[in-house]
Amino acid sequence: MKSLVLSALLIAAAGTAMASPTCTAPKDQWQPEAAFKKNLETQGYQIKTFKVTKGQCYEIYGTDKAGKKVEIYFDPVSGKALEQK
C-alpha cells in the first residue's frame, strides 16, 4: 500500500514539473511569428523548431549564440523569456 501511494505521488510530481508556462493574452496582441523569430535570430539564436504551446506561449528549440542547445518558452506579447530548459 505504501509503495502504491509513493508511486502516485512521484507521478503527480513529475507531471507538475513537466508543465510548461501559460500565456493568457489574446492572439491579436501577440507579436507576429515571423518578426519574433527574426528578432531572436538577430540575438544569435538558431531556431530549429518554433511552435505555439498548448499553454499559448511561443517555444523554440535550437541553439544560442554560444552554440548551446536551448529550449525556451516566451511570452508572445512582450517577448520575455518565461522558462528555459
* Domain ranges, ordered by start, for the chain: 21-84
| 28/9 Cα distance (integer angstroms) | 40
pLDDT for res 78:
97
pLDDT for res 18:
63
Whose CA is closest to 71, among 57, 83, 55, 53?
83
Residues 16-75 pLDDT 10s: 456 889 999 999 999 999 999 999 999 999 999 999 999 999 999 999 999 999 999 999
pTM above 0.75, yes or no: yes
